[in-house]
Amino acid sequence: MKYWDLFREENEAVAGRHELAAERIGRIFDETSVSDVYRNYFIGTAEFIMLLEDTYEKQKNGELAVMGLAELEKLNKALYRDVLPENYDESYANPAYASRILGVQYGPLLSFLYTEIRSGIVYAYESRLTDLTILEEIFIEVYNLFEEEEPKLEELKEALYYYVSDYCDVTLTYRIRETLDPSLDFALSIVMDSDLSDVRYLYRYGEYISDTEKEMSVFLASLPEEMICRMADTYTEGYRKGFAATGRSYENKKTVQLRYPIGFERMIRRAVENFRRMGLEPVLVRAAVGTMNRASSRTNGYYGTPANRQYEYDHRYDNAIYLDKAFKERKLSVLRVAYEEQRELAAGYAGPAVVETFGERTFKPINKSEAFSLSEKQEKLLLSYSSEAMGIIDSFIPGTETSFTIIAFPVPEIGPDFEDIFRETIRINTLDYELYRDIQQKIIDALDKADRVEIRGRDGNRTWLTVCLPPLRDPKKETNFENCVADVNIPVGEVFTSPLLAGTSGILHVGSVYIGEFQFRDLEIEFKDGKTVSCTCRNFDSEKECRDLVKQVILKNHEFLPMGEFAIGTNTTAYEVAGRYGILDKFPILIAEKMGPHFAVGDTCYSRMEDCPIYNPDGKEMKARENAFSVQRHENPQEAYFNCHTDITLPYSELDSIEAVGADGERTAIIANGRFALPGTEALNVPLDRMGKGGN
């Protein structure tokens, strides 16, 4: 394993600094210089830091590697106990509790600090002594502010601001490196060198390990090798097909980034072997920790079940503490330098291969006034940063040279039918490519004769949408819809386009849909000329809270988004499986988008790749690759992209009709009364017939 050698020299260099910090924290327990109001906070946080110190030493001397299962479970529980749901009401990680005990001014800030220190769990397991030392030093600095008398609020804010800003060149720079550098093989060694029949390996990551990870690992260990191969081979072959479908080559690339849920190591091991045979060395990167790199959804790497989703939700906008124009510019500057330093690795990066899960228990967030939120000015700064950052990344890793793939599987939380649903998911992920290719081509042929498509809901669904299509100059050689046959987006089953925004208007309504980890009830979005003009749901009693949730999760804090995609899903087999097991609201968007028409808000599917020709299996070029925003990419790139793409599916059960309407008004039913109506598409109705007429 290369990893430990890479950090030995750096750890030795910072050892003296670290020793001083640890000694200073150790003396806090005997001191009384901080008032009783804050003493428990500082003592409790110091105790947690000492637990991190002990964990770091156990990792360093090899003790973690030989611990028994009971000891590992005990340590894992100790590290995450404070944020588990049963303890969270009285945790300083909870901004509401911190505000109640420490005051409304200091409480949220000190809650942020404690949350940031909790990222030290990762640093202890990965033996990253520099990062651990930085956390300890900011803790000492804040403790010193509270000695003798309360500090001015601005002093505390300033200390936290400069902690994040000053160390940006450490935290962000390392994050870029770990996403690209295969020599950082901490997780790869776990996957490839562990005895995967012994669940103790799960605790080597340092992530919270729930019953889900253990049950998933045990289940995969029980599967025959042939089934594991089918899973992994579908995943890696989809990645290869993604390059082939776009006429690109990965032969000059060197690395592929693997993102997966902990517990899937047996499948990932086979995938690693497959990618290596393709000439690609896997990079296994952890989902980001720490305020500098953490996203609102922590799944941009390998990850475990969150110890507490409310905890993560409460801290999703902690960057409100420090986000200003100066910080934005500093972060962009560091990002640019970091990619310059990793230029060679960036050039060899082929893109991510992602494994997702579904079936997790429903999460109903609670909005807390004590949690940080972004101001309107900060929202604009964040969006501006995102746009400029994507431009920097694209200059080092051009989207025209990379690809990706995504596949999804259920987790045991889905219920007692888990094993049957898992096997059915494997079947769904490996459906007949040629059957769907030919059926979908018939749908595309009909759609290519239209200049708009009309979509109507039924049985209480209020959807009434018109989607306009760009004109085709040479219909014999051009098409408006891509024939999606299970390459980058597994499973098979959709035709999709980038709508013409002008004239695309109406209401999209969905009774229940999962987007990310949120289940939206009665989601409604209104479009005018292809742009969102209003949005709501019924997740909360407060209309404002409902709009805010849609804005955060779906609009990604933009004031509006264009309709970036319109698609018709054809995977009625997946829909039948979902109905049979009562999991229509559990399938992830990756599969759900194939179970009815879906609409994406944000960028098109071809974001930053508009200039790359795409051809369907029939040889026609897919021409609808841009819209009125992305067409500005060369002259005004900051106005061209929104850097998000969120799919929303209208299930067959809520769908009445989809009609292709020609310029002369001639109508062709693609779906009528919830059933596929075109000659040659009858096979898609067979699963619906098994469920009951109309897919109900």
Q: Using the 8-state DSSP alphabet, how is residue 632 labeled?
A: G
The pLDDT value recorded for residue 297 is 58
- Per the listing, tokens 């905890």 go with 311
Question: Model confidence over 210-261: pLDDT tens digits?
Answer: 999 999 999 999 999 999 999 999 999 999 988 887 778 898 999 999 999 9
pTM of the model: 0.89
Q: Kindly give the residue spans of alpha helices, DSSP state H, lying in 34-151.
A: 36-60, 63-66, 69-80, 85-88, 95-102, 107-118, 120-125, 129-146
Tell me the pairing of strands 597-602 and 645-649: antiparallel
- pLDDT, residue 693, reads 45
Letter for the amino acid at 658?
I
Residue 287 has pLDDT above 80, yes or no: yes
Q: For the segment 80-128, what is each residue's pLDDT rounded down to a tens digit?
A: 999 999 999 999 999 999 999 999 999 999 999 999 999 999 999 999 9
According to DSSP, the residues that pair with 505 across neighbouring strands are 466
| 696 pLDDT tier (thresholds 50, 70, 90) | very low
> Rounded mean pLDDT of 502-521?
90
3-state secondary structure 563-614: EEEEEEECCHHHHHHHHHHCCCCCCCHHHHCCCCEEEEEECCCCCCCCCCCC
- Strands 500-515 and 494-497 turn out to be unpaired
With bands split at pLDDT 50, 70 and 90, how would you rate the model's confidence at 6?
A: confident
pLDDT digit string, tens, across residues 345-357: 999 999 999 999 9
pLDDT tens string 39-90: 999 999 999 999 999 999 999 999 999 999 999 999 999 999 999 999 999 9
Residue type, 441: Q
Q: Decide: 38 and 146 in contact? Cβ < 8 Å.
A: yes
The alpha carbon of 254 is separated from its chain's Cα centroid by a whole number of angstroms, namely 24
pLDDT of 296 reads 62
207: closest CA among 125, 147, 325? Answer: 125
State the Cα–Cα distance between residues 180 and 273, nearest whole angstrom. Answer: 18
Q: Does residue 1 have a pLDDT over 60? A: no
Preceding amide of 651 cis, omega within 30: no
**Residues 121, 79: Cα–Cα separation, whole Å:** 7
Question: How high is the mean pLDDT of the chain?
Answer: 94
What does the pLDDT read at residue 431? 87
**DSSP, res 202:** G
- Determine the pLDDT at residue 32: 94
* Cα dist from 84 to 209, 271, 302, 642, whole Å: 12, 33, 20, 35
User: For 154-195, how does the pLDDT look when each residue is reduced to its tens digit (9 = 90+)?
Assistant: 999 999 999 999 999 999 999 999 999 999 999 999 999 999
Percent of the chain with pLDDT over 90: 83
Across 185-199, 288-302, 456-470, least confident range = 288-302
Residue 687 pLDDT > 90: yes
pLDDT (tens digit per residue) in 366-420: 999 999 999 999 999 998 999 899 999 999 999 889 989 999 999 999 999 999 9
pLDDT at 148: 86
Per-residue pLDDT tens digits for 597-610: 999 999 999 988 89
Spatial separation of the C-alpha atoms in residues 546 and 532, rounded to whole Å:
16
Q: What are phi and psi of 529, to 5 degrees?
A: 50, 45
| Res. 579: pLDDT tops 80 | yes
Please compute the mean of the pLDDT values over residues 675-695 and round it to a whole number. 85
Q: Is residue 543's pLDDT more than 90?
A: yes
Banded pLDDT at 486 (limits 50, 70, 90): low
pLDDT at 249: 87
Which helix (H) or strand (E) covers residue 186, if one does? helix 186-193
Domain parsing of the chain, residue ranges = 3-166, 186-406, 451-695
* SS3 call for 457: strand
> For position 230, what pLDDT does the model report?
95
Q: Is the Cβ–Cβ distance between 119 and 54 less than 8 Å?
A: no
The predicted model gives 548-562 an average pLDDT of: 93
